[in-house]
């Protein structure tokens, strides 16, 4: 009809292609996040990046404008910008391929960078944004190919259609008459169309809108799927938020002198959000405490079951224990120290009365993971506990909510079962566990080790006094001495912070008068039993890495 409508069609349909593609990508991204990296939903990470980047006045303005709805307003704002960029990508893609796809790719890069820079980023943090961008790019390519060819300026030759399509033509005609159908408003020909005939451009356009609508629908279904997948964990998070843990009958004070407070040095107590996470769970198991129970059975005189309420009614103690993963490389970060609240496993085992020839406890989590722990370690006087609290909170879901095991002195894979629901008293020659079935050692005592945290590797320093600092650990034995070696010089004693206990790591520092040049710093620890950390390099398989941690630094 009018040239205005035709001009509108030149960008409206391409813009619709862009919006539909991004809608599909966003939905698929949310589903990917729900499956692989719940903390890395593209919306959430971009929002969180913007919060980090926002100058203080912008934050104040947002809070003044939207109050406690400021976060929702931010997400809506991101959505609006996303739609605008998506529309622009569609409009650009038609005359200048692949500019539109590149623009969407750029959105993906923003998402990946935002995800990778979050404090709680996991190895798969990049995946939701990357998958979202790739699917949107593919969808755009697909939809642009199906855009109707630009209609001729003169009325297109009318074409008679099969009866099956005349129903849609009626609808379009009615819509145009009512002026209510968005489809009709894109449609310069519908007002003139005879009830029985329709132009090929109109058919192409409807077919295109069908594909575009399909893309939006796929996005919506994917997003809904992601939402439903996480419904369980949202419900459990809500329950967790209402829990107040009982006060400990015995507290574990952390001496002030345990924390050196050196910039860049790992804090002596690892905050929950920074605590390493290792498990085989693709989605964090959602366990409602009121459904939780622990069964102790196997080679015992009597089976014991324990519910959440029964566990919380027992006297719970605080203890500080450093957990470490067998996959931690020398100098690596798969280690953390927390204040745990829990009940001694020893007491529960005693209630069950194990038979004299049992030597192992196979713990099992709700998702089927198993760990084999020597029975003797669970029966001696160390703080091997069923933990319900971590650093003053109920266990975070990803750290085993509602109940996990914590055993001082053993790597996590043979002791620290999260979401634990079953303890089977058995024997090492009768049963094996998840990782021991996969080539890891049957026994996993944590090896004596030490790490340099500051200065950072490659950091450039000025000649003069430089603080070298780090942590050292030998759980359930304790650390007697830490020494630092510069290049091939003599080993120099470092100063130890106060140890919280033999079950925790200890901070150390060494004041170095650094001469100019490139230097290698090396650390070694000595256990309270006199064992000196070996320089023999061994990889993490099958029972933990050995060797000395080194840092190369440039002094000017
Ligand atoms: N259910 C379950 N518990 C588990 C694991 C697991 O894969 N599933 N991994 C273990 C390993 S290998 C380690 S190192 C610790 C890590 O505990 P964290 O994630 O709380 O740091 O959990 C242990 N408990
Ligand atoms: Mo581990």
pLDDT digits (tens, 9 = 90+) for 204-231: 889 999 999 999 999 999 999 998 888 8
What is the per-residue pLDDT for 177?
Answer: 36
- Per-residue pLDDT of 361-412, as tens digits, reads 999 999 899 999 999 999 999 999 999 999 999 999 999 999 999 999 999 9
Residue 290: burial class (beta carbons within 10 Å; 0-12, 13-18, 19+): exposed
Range in 79-83, 150-154, 384-388, 445-449 with the lowest mean pLDDT: 150-154
160: pLDDT strictly greater than 80: no
Atom 12 of ligand 1: nearest residue by CA position: 413
Q: Closest ligand to 416 CA?
A: 1
Average pLDDT, the chain: 88
Structure tokens at 386: 């069923």
Of the pLDDT bands very low, low, confident and very high (cuts 50, 70, 90), residue 185 is very low
CA dist 38 and 22 (Å) reads 20
The terminus-to-terminus CA distance of the chain in angstroms comes to 76
Residue having the nearest C-alpha atom to atom 15 of ligand 1:
412
Q: Which of 18-27, 277-286, 307-316 has the lowest mean pLDDT?
A: 277-286
d(CA 426, CA 364): 13
pTM: 0.72
Q: Compute the distance from residue 108 Cα to the ligand 1 centre, in Å.
A: 31
Ligand 2 centre to CA of 411 (Å) is 6
Q: Which residues contact 123 (CB under 8 A, 6 or more apart)?
A: none
Mean pLDDT of 62-70: 77
Ligand nearest to the CA of 544: 2
Confidence of residue 7 (pLDDT cuts 50, 70, 90): low
CA of 399 to the centre of ligand 1 (A): 8
Nearest CA residue ID for atom 20, ligand 1: 399
Which pLDDT value is given to residue 176? 36
Residue 71 scores a pLDDT above 90: no
Residue 19 pLDDT exceeds 70: yes
Decide: 298 and 323 in contact? Cβ < 8 Å: no
Question: Lowest-pLDDT range, 19-33, 62-76, 477-491?
Answer: 62-76
Q: Which residues contact 521 (CB under 8 A, 6 or more apart)?
A: 452, 455, 468, 484, 485, 486, 512, 550, 551, 552, 553
Residue nearest ligand 1's atom 6 by CA: 279
Is a pLDDT exceeding 80 seen at residue 9?
no
Is the previous residue joined to 455 through a cis bond, with omega within 30 degrees of 0? Answer: yes
Q: Is the pLDDT of residue 17 over 60?
A: yes
- β-pair type (385-390, 404-406): antiparallel
> What share of the chain in percent tops pLDDT 90?
72
| Distance (Å) from CA 328 to ligand 2 centroid | 8
- More confident: 192 or 42: 42
Q: What is the rounded average pLDDT of the residues 467-486?
A: 98
pLDDT top residue among 46 and 293: 293
Ordered by where they begin, the domains of the chain are 4-229 (no CATH), 256-438 (3.90.420.10), 449-555 (2.60.40.650)
Instruction: Return the ligand 1 atom nearest residue 278 CA.
Output: 19
> How much is the pLDDT for 150?
61
Over 90: is that where the pLDDT of 73 sits? no
Judged by average pLDDT, the poorest of 5-14, 299-308, 370-379 is: 5-14
């Amino acid at each position: 009809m009018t040239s205005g409508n035709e001009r509108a069609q030149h960008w409206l349909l391409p813009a619709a292609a862009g919006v539909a593609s991004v809608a599909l990508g966003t939905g698929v991204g949310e589903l990917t996040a729900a499956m692989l990296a719940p903390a890395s939903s593209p919306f959430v990470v971009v929002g969180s990046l913007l919060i980090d980047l926002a100058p203080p006045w912008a934050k104040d303005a947002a809070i003044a404008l939207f109050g406690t709805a400021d976060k929702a307003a931010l997400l809506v704002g991101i959505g609006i910008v996303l739609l605008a960029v998506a529309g622009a990508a569609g409009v650009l893609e038609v005359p200048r391929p692949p500019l539109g796809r590149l623009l969407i790719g750029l959105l993906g890069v923003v998402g990946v960078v935002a995800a990778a820079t979050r404090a709680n980023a996991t190895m798969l943090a990049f995946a939701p944004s990357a998958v979202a961008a790739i699917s949107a790019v593919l969808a755009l390519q697909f939809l642009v190919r199906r855009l109707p060819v630009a209609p001729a300026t003169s009325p297109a030759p009318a074409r008679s259609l099969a009866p099956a399509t005349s129903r849609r033509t009626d609808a379009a005609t009615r819509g145009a008459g009512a002026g209510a159908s968005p489809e009709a408003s894109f449609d310069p020909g519908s007002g003139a169309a005879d009830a029985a005939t329709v132009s090929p451009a109109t058919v192409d356009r409807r077919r295109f809108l069908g594909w575009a609508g399909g893309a939006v629908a796929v996005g919506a279904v994917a997003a809904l799927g992601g939402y439903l997948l996480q419904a369980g964990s949202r419900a459990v998070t809500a329950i967790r938020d209402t829990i107040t843990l009982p006060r400990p009958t015995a507290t574990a004070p952390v001496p002030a002198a345990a924390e050196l407070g050196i910039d860049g040095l790992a804090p002596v107590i690892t905050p929950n959000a920074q605590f390493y996470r290792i498990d085989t769970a693709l989605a964090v198991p959602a366990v409602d405490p009121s459904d939780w129970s622990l069964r102790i059975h196997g080679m015992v005189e009597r089976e014991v079951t324990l519910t959440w309420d029964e566990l919380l009614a027992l006297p719970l103690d605080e203890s500080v224990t450093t957990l470490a993963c067998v996959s931690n490389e020398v100098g690596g970060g798969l280690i953390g120290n927390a204040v745990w609240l829990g009940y001694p496993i020893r007491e529960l085992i005693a209630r069950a009365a194990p038979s004299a020839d049992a030597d192992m406890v196979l713990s099992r989590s709700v998702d089927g993971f198993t760990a084999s722990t020597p029975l003797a370690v669970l029966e001696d006087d160390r703080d091997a506990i069923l933990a319900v609290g971590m650093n003053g909170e109920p266990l975070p879901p990803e750290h085993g909510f509602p109940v996990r095991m914590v055993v001082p002195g053993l790597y996590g894979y043979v002791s620290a079962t999260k979401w634990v629901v079953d303890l089977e008293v058995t024997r090492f020659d009768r049963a094996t566990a998840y990782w021991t079935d996969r080539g890891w050692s049957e026994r996993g005592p944590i090896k004596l080790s030490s790490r340099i945290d500051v200065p950072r590797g490659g950091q450039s320093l000025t000649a003069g006094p430089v603080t070298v600092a780090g942590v050292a650990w030998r759980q359930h034995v304790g650390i007697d001495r830490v020494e630092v070696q510069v290049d091939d010089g003599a080993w120099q004693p470092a100063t130890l912070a106060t140890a919280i206990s033999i079950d925790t790591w200890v901070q150390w520092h060494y004041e170095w008068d650094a001469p100019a040049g490139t230097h290698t710093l090396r650390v070694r620890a000595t256990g309270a039993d006199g064992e000196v950390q070996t320089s023999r390099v061994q990889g993490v398989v099958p029972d933990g890495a050995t060797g000395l941690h080194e840092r190369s630094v440039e002094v000017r």
